[in-house]
Amino acid sequence: MSRYGNLDFDDDWYDRPLEKHFEHKQNVDQVTDKRYRAIQRAIVEAPEESEWNAWDEVVNWRNGMTLADAREFKRQMSESGLSSRYIEENLSIVNSFLKELLERDVIDSNPVAYVLDNTDFEYDSKDKIERSISEIGTYLKRIPNLQQRAMGTVFSKTGVRNGENYNVDLPFLHLDHQAYYRVLDQHDVTLKDKVKDYPDSLYIPSEPTVGESFRSEERLLGNKRKRGTRIPIDQETKQALLDWVAVRPETAYPHPLWVSPVGQPTRIGFNNTNKKLTRSWAEETGLVDDGTTGKFTPHWFRHFFTTNMKPGRGHHENSIPPSLVKYIRGDVEEDIMKIYTHNWGDQVSDQYLDAIYHFGIYNRSCQVKRKE
């Protein structure tokens, strides 16, 4: 019992803990609108453009929490590329929420407090890794692993989120080439209607959600899109994907595009991209120095795409309208989604293909050997 005795808190704290917490923040603590939005982002729903998930999206805390839950919440924020300062802020917000529930006997532990107390946060420099289109092209063509090269090319040319790339299944990818059609026939795969009549396109649906089943598979990462998006595939990305598909191990339903070759082929591990593509290969090809890879993550490509495709920015002369950048990225603006969804030809595909940068991956062989 607290030093105030039994205060007989409102039963709603047990029935509606989230709602009561937010009401308390507004009416009692009277937090600013900016702080209130930050609390919502950390506890209930992370921003649409983020690669991490809020506490309530990651942890089933109502049924009990463990230290592993708190560490997983922190880990997925770190893997997404969030700064140490932002991670500490989100942990502190969740800690405040759980502390409030603990005082009211709604929960019986606060593992986030333990993680906070036992983490030394080293604030990252605000300096971001800047790389030109030429430098990224050199990096990609020096990767001999066809899967990692293709994956990096998709990230670089589309700005899709890590989870969206991770969740791609063959029925959502239409490569207009006989070799690809043969692969589909061999696997008895039927293209989805969203791409069936749109050669050289990739469809990113909204449905995959962390921890929920999608196409009979529980997904470890979510897509975080409110509406599905059809994205054009240019010739360079197409070639990279065809190279990978040609050697891709055969898999069963739901036929993931990215596959772990170890044992029975299944969807690639969700940490693989960070460990291999943006760490091992980034270092081996000389794109980044050892020790600075923490700033180079799958999410980095999203900013790279945005910077180089918007008018007057980046290292690329051509550009597309900012609204089309938002459409391809999956940023939520209802009017934009409606316009481009119903005007695929000259409004999306042609503009994108005319403007997208070229890496020169297939101009000449340029590869490095793996380290022993």
- The domain spans of the chain are 12-117, 133-355
Lowest mean pLDDT of 10-19, 222-231, 232-241, 335-344, name the range.
335-344
Instruction: Name the more confident of 144 and 128.
Output: 144
- pTM reported for the whole predicted model: 0.69
Cα-based torsion angle of the residue sequence 289, 372, 146, 166 in order, rounded to the nearest 10 degrees: -70
Which position has the token pair 């937090």? 31
What single-letter amino acid sits at 318?
Answer: N
Strand partners, 213: 218
Which position has the token pair 């918007």? 310
How far, in Å, CA of 159 to CA of 331, rounded?
11
pLDDT in tens, 17-76: 899 899 888 888 888 888 899 999 999 999 887 889 999 999 999 888 999 999 999 999
Give residue 138's pLDDT. 96
How far, in Å, CA of 297 to CA of 166, rounded?
14
Q: Is the pLDDT of residue 294 over 50?
A: yes
Give residue 62's pLDDT. 87
C-alpha 149: how far from its chain's center? 18
Nearest Cα neighbor of 234 from 342, 360, 143, 330 is 360
Give residue 364's pLDDT. 53
Task: Report the percent of the chain where pLDDT is more than 70.
Answer: 90
Give residue 370's pLDDT. 39
CATH topology of domain 133-355: hpI Integrase; Chain A (1.10.443)
Q: Is the pLDDT of residue 185 over 50?
A: yes
Strand partners, 169: 256
Instruction: Name the more confident of 151 and 294.
Output: 151
